Amino acid sequence: HRDPSIGTHEASSGEGMVYWQVALPGPLQMLFTYGVPADVSARAGMRVWVPLGKGQRMGVLWSPAEKETEWVIKPVLSVLDDEPLLDEELLACLGWAADYYHFPLGETVLAALAPSLRQGRSLHELAWRILPSGEQALADGTLRGARQRALLERIAQTPQGVSESQLRDFPKAVRLRLADLGLIEPFEQMMPSTWPVLAEMSGNKLPAPDLNEAQSAAVSAVAACLENFGVWLLEGVTGSGKTEVYLNLISRVLAQGRQVLILVPEIALTPQLVTRFTDRLGLVPAVLHSGLNDGDRLNAWLAARSGDATVVIGTRSAVFQPFADLGLIVVDEEHDGSFKQSEGFGYHARDVAIWRARRLGVPIMLGSATPSLESLRNVSLSRYHLLTLPERAGGAAMPDIRLLDVRQQRMRGGLSDDLVAAIETHLLAGGQVMLYLNRRGYASNLLCHACGWVAECAHCDSFMTWHRGVNRLRCHHCGFERQPPSVCPNCSATLSPRGLGTEQLEDVLTGLFPGFGIERLDRDALSRVGELDRRLARIQSSEARLIVGTQILVKGHDFPHVSLVAVVDADQALFANDFRGAERFAQQLIQVAGRAGRASRAGTVLVQTHQPEHVGLNRLIHAGYASFAQTLLAERAEAGLPPVRAAAMIRADARDADAPRELLTHMADWLHEHLADPADSPLDVWGPVPAPLARRAGRYRYQLLILADDRPRLHAALSQLESWQGTRRTKGIRWSIDVDPVDM
Ligand code: ADP
Ligand code: ZN
Ligand code: ZN
C-alpha cells in the first residue's frame, strides 16, 4: 500500500538527472530548463514545482531538453502528477496559441488547467478502506458507538476505499478512532471521478422531432464525414432548428463512444439550455464556465478529461479543456463577440476550436443566424462548407421589419409618437412588447434631430465621436479632432448628443403604460445568481408585458408571446466609431427580430432611425443579412480591413497622458522604417489614436492598428515588437498585442 506522501516525488540534485524545459507563468515567452531525477517518471504535460529566484513556482513539463553546460541547472522540487494532465494534442494547441496570439507560453498553458490545478492542487487525495478486522467487527456486532458503526458500514460498502471528501458527514475524530482500533486504514488515491457514467443512467430521452428537409440535408452532409476534419457553417435564422441538427449529430458521435464539446456565448449558457441537452440526450453534460466554484469546475474538468462526461457545454475557456476522445465540436452563435477574450490572453475560442478540430481530424460545426464576416469569407474561399436552414422549423412566420423615420418627430424618452401608438396597440391586443437598446460604449455621436445630420470625419469615412468631458469631436480612426459646431451646419437646428439608458426608458414606459408590468434585461440581470432566471420567468408567465433590454435580449432566449419588437435607436450603432459597428448592429437586429412571433403570432419589428434612406439598413431589412453581409465584405475589401486583411492592435496605457502615445509612435515609426517596405506586400500602421474609452481608472489609453495582406508578415512584425517588452522605454506603461481584435 502506498504512503500518502508518495504523490510528490522529492527530487535530488546531482547526477542522474533528465533535463526538461518547463513552461512557467510569467511575462516571458521563454521556457526554463530544470532537472528531473532520472528515476522519476516525467512526461510532457505533468505539473512540477520548481525553484525560481527566492521562491517557487508551479509549471508544466513542456519538452525534454539538452543539458546546457554553462548554466547550473536546478532540479525541480517535486513532480505533482503521476500522468500528464495535458496530452500531446492539447500541448501542441497551447504552443500554437501562444505563438499566434503573442502571449507568454507559461501563461497560455494555465488556460488549460482547472483553477484549483493552476494553484497546485494535488490530484491525489486521502481515502480510507476497511481492514479484515473491521469486517470482523461488523459481522460480530462488537462495535458499540453508533457513529463508529455507521462510518464503518459506510466504508465497508466500497471495498476499494472511500475518499475523505465523501466522508465529511462524519467527524474526523471518528475516523481516527476506527483507525486506532485497527479497523480501517488510510491510503492515497487519484481523485475518483464522481461523474454519472452514461451506462449508469436511466437514459430516458425526450423524443426527437422528425427533421425537415433542410435539417436532414445538413445532418447527412456532416454525418458522412464524421471521421474527418471539416468546418461546417450552419446558417439558419433563430428558430430554424439548428439546435436539433446539433442534437442529431451529437447522438451519432456519442453512439461511436466519442465525446462532444459545445461552445456557447457567455450569456447563452443558461439552465434552460443545459436542461434541453440533458432531456434530449438522456445524460448529464459537464458544464464549464467561469461562474462555477473551484470544486465543481475541477469535477467537470476531470470528468471531461477522463471521458466520463461525454458531452461538455462551456463558454470560451472550455475550448482548452482536455478530452479523452473528442469526436465533434459545435460552436453555437459563432459570430458572438464573447468568444474573443479581450484582456490578457486574447484568444478567439472559435478559432482555437477550429485548430483543435483540424489536429484531431474531427468535424466542427459553427451555427448562427448571422455568421461573422470572417466565417462568410471562409465559405467564399471554400475553406468552410455552408449549410443553410432557410425557414423556421415550427412553421412560425418571419417577422416583418419596418423602419420608423423619427426625424422631426416628437420624442418622449427616446420614443416617437408612432412607436408609442404601436406599443399601445400590441399591448391592448394582448401581446408582449420588447424594446431593444443597443447601448454600447462610452462615447456618443452628435446628431441633428431635425435633419439627421451627423458629424463626420474630414479624413475618413467614419463618424466622429463626441467626447463630453472635453467637448471635442474626435475620429477614432485617424485621430483628427475638432470643436463641435454649435448648431447644425445643414439646417441650423440645435444639435443633441445621443444616448439613452435602459433605466431611463423603463421610467418613461412606466409613465406611459402604467399597470402593464415591465421587466428589464441588461447586465444588471446577470449580477446575482438566479436573477436572470427570475426575470425570465416573469416574462414567460406574461406577468411583465413590457420588456426593456440590451444585448442579453438577443441571446437565444425564447419569448413566445412577444408580438412587437422595437429597436429604439438604430443610428447609434450605424454610426459607431469602430468598423465592426455595422456588422454587430445587423447581427443584433436580426437576432432581436428573431425574438418576435416565435409561436403562432407573426411578429412586427419597428426600427427607429434618423436615416430611413440608409443604404445598408435598407439592404439588411429588404434583402436580408446574407446580402447585407456581402456588401459589408466588399466594403472591407475596399478599405483593406479584416477579414480581408489580417489585423493586430497594440494597446498601451499609463498614468502619464503622453507616455503611451509616445511608445506607440515609436513603434509605428520603427515598423515603418523596418517593415513597411512598399516593394513587399504592404503593412499598414494606423495611429496611434486614443482608445474608444480614452481614459480608464486613471490610465490614458492609446492604440495602434497594424494591417497586413498576409498573416506571416503580420506575425513577423509582431514577433519583432515582442522584444520591446521589458525594455526601459516601456517603464510605467502597460502594453499588449491583440491579434484579430474584435473591439477596435
Ligand atoms: P434554433 O437553434 O435554430 O434557434 P431550435 O432547434 O431551437 O432552433 O428549434 C426551434 C423550435 O423548433 C424548437 O422548439 C424545436 O423543438 C422546434 N423544432 C426544431 N426542429 C423541428 C422539426 N424538425 N420539427 C418540429 N419542431 C422542430
Ligand atoms: Zn440639421
Ligand atoms: Zn478620421
Comparison of pLDDT for 534 and 316, the residue scoring more: 316
Per-residue pLDDT reduced to its tens digit, 162-196: 888 788 888 889 989 999 999 999 988 877 667 76
**pLDDT for position 442:** 39
* 661 close to ligand 1 (CB < 6 Angstrom): no
| pLDDT tops 90 at residue 105 | yes
Comparison of pLDDT for 612 and 552, the residue scoring more: 612
**pLDDT band, very low/low/confident/very high, at 731 (cuts 50, 70, 90):** low
What is the rounded distance in angstroms from the CA atom of residue 364 to the CA atom of residue 232?
A: 6
Half-sphere exposure for 549 (CA within 13 Å, toward CB): 30
The answer to whether 491 is a known ligand-binding residue is yes
Find out whether the peptide bond into 75 is cis, omega within 30 degrees of 0. no
**pLDDT for position 9:** 42
* 238 close to ligand 1 (CB < 6 Angstrom): yes
How far does the chain reach from its first CA to its final CA, in angstroms? 59
What is the rounded distance in angstroms from the CA atom of residue 320 to the CA atom of residue 305?
A: 11
**pLDDT band, very low/low/confident/very high, at 468 (cuts 50, 70, 90):** low
Comparison of pLDDT for 11 and 120, the residue scoring more: 120
233's grid cell: 457553417
CA 446 to ligand 2 centroid distance, Å: 11
Looking at the DSSP bridge assignments, the partners of residue 35 are 19, 75
**pLDDT for position 106:** 93
Handedness of CA 602, 608, 613, 618 (dihedral sign): negative
pLDDT (average), residues 293-319: 93
| pLDDT tops 70 at residue 524 | no
- H or E element: which one contains 295? helix 294-306
Ligand with smallest separation from the Cα of 457 = 3
What is the rounded distance in angstroms from the CA atom of residue 363 to the CA atom of residue 701?
A: 41
Ligand with smallest separation from the Cα of 479 = 3
Pocket test for ligand 1, best of 216, 219, 243, 554 (most atoms within 8 A of CB): 243
Looking at the DSSP bridge assignments, the partners of residue 312 are 261, 286
CA 334 to ligand 1 centroid distance, Å: 18
Comparison of pLDDT for 726 and 46, the residue scoring more: 46
Q: Which residue's alpha carbon is at the smallest distance from atom 24 of ligand 1? A: 209
| pLDDT tops 70 at residue 289 | yes
- H or E element: which one contains 176? helix 172-180
| pLDDT tops 90 at residue 271 | no
**pLDDT for position 6:** 35
Residue 228, class by beta-carbon neighbours within 10 Å (0-12 exposed, 13-18 middle, 19+ buried)?
A: exposed
50's grid cell: 520548481
The answer to whether 225 is a known ligand-binding residue is no
Strands (E), 480-602: 481-482, 495-497, 518-521, 546-549, 562-567
Ligand with smallest separation from the Cα of 448 = 2
Q: What is the dihedral of CA 723, 19, 41, 294, to 10 degrees?
A: -20
The answer to whether 460 is a known ligand-binding residue is yes
* Residue whose cell numbers read 426600427: 607
* 212 close to ligand 1 (CB < 6 Angstrom): yes
CA 466 to ligand 3 centroid distance, Å: 13
| Helices and strands in the chain: count of H runs, count of E runs | 21, 33
**pLDDT band, very low/low/confident/very high, at 441 (cuts 50, 70, 90):** very low
Name the least confident of 83-87, 450-454, 467-471, 736-740: 467-471
Q: Which residues contact 244 (CB under 8 A, 6 or more apart)?
A: 208, 209, 211, 215, 393
| pLDDT tops 90 at residue 446 | no
Q: Of the ranges 153-157, 350-354, 699-703, which is most confident?
A: 350-354
Ligand with smallest separation from the Cα of 207 = 1
Residue 566, class by beta-carbon neighbours within 10 Å (0-12 exposed, 13-18 middle, 19+ buried)?
A: buried
What is the rounded distance in angstroms from the CA atom of residue 579 to the CA atom of residue 585?
A: 11
Task: Note whether ipTM > 0.85 here.
Answer: yes
Nearest to 25 by CA among 123, 120, 110: 110
* 365 close to ligand 1 (CB < 6 Angstrom): no
Nearest to 81 by CA among 58, 108, 63: 58
**pLDDT for position 376:** 96
| pLDDT tops 90 at residue 118 | yes
* 211 close to ligand 1 (CB < 6 Angstrom): yes
CA 690 to ligand 3 centroid distance, Å: 12
pTM: predicted TM-score of the whole model, two decimal places: 0.83
| pLDDT tops 90 at residue 680 | no
CA 506 to ligand 2 centroid distance, Å: 29
Pocket test for ligand 1, best of 205, 213, 234, 244 (most atoms within 8 A of CB): 244
Task: Say if strands 124-130 and 184-190 run parallel, antiparallel, or are unpaired.
Answer: antiparallel
**pLDDT band, very low/low/confident/very high, at 2 (cuts 50, 70, 90):** very low
Q: Which residue's alpha carbon is at the smallest distance from atom 21 of ligand 1? A: 393
CA 655 to ligand 3 centroid distance, Å: 26
The answer to whether 475 is a known ligand-binding residue is yes
Asked if 32 contacts 19 with a C-beta cutoff of 8 angstroms, the reply is: no
pLDDT (average), residues 59-84: 86
The answer to whether 448 is a known ligand-binding residue is yes
Nearest to 344 by CA among 744, 739, 49, 6: 739
* 209 close to ligand 1 (CB < 6 Angstrom): yes
Region of residue 622 (phi > 0: left; psi between -120 and 50: alpha; otherwise: beta): alpha
Name the least confident of 414-418, 514-518, 592-596, 669-673: 592-596
- The atom of ligand 1 lying closest to the CA of 240 is 3
Comparison of pLDDT for 669 and 259, the residue scoring more: 259
Nearest to 84 by CA among 31, 56, 134, 123: 123
Q: Of the ranges 50-54, 219-223, 462-466, 502-506, which is most confident?
A: 219-223
**pLDDT for position 256:** 95
What is the rounded distance in angstroms from the CA atom of residue 643 to the CA atom of residue 374?
A: 5
Which amino acid makes up residue 596?
Answer: A
Per-residue pLDDT reduced to its tens digit, 630-665: 999 998 898 888 999 999 999 999 988 899 999 999
CA 485 to ligand 2 centroid distance, Å: 11
**pLDDT for position 8:** 42
CA 418 to ligand 2 centroid distance, Å: 21
**pLDDT for position 536:** 83
- The atom of ligand 1 lying closest to the CA of 238 is 4
* 660 close to ligand 1 (CB < 6 Angstrom): no
Half-sphere exposure for 257 (CA within 13 Å, toward CB): 1
Ligand with smallest separation from the Cα of 246 = 1
Phi, psi of 211 (to 5 degrees): -70, 145
* 599 close to ligand 1 (CB < 6 Angstrom): no
Average pLDDT for the chain: 85
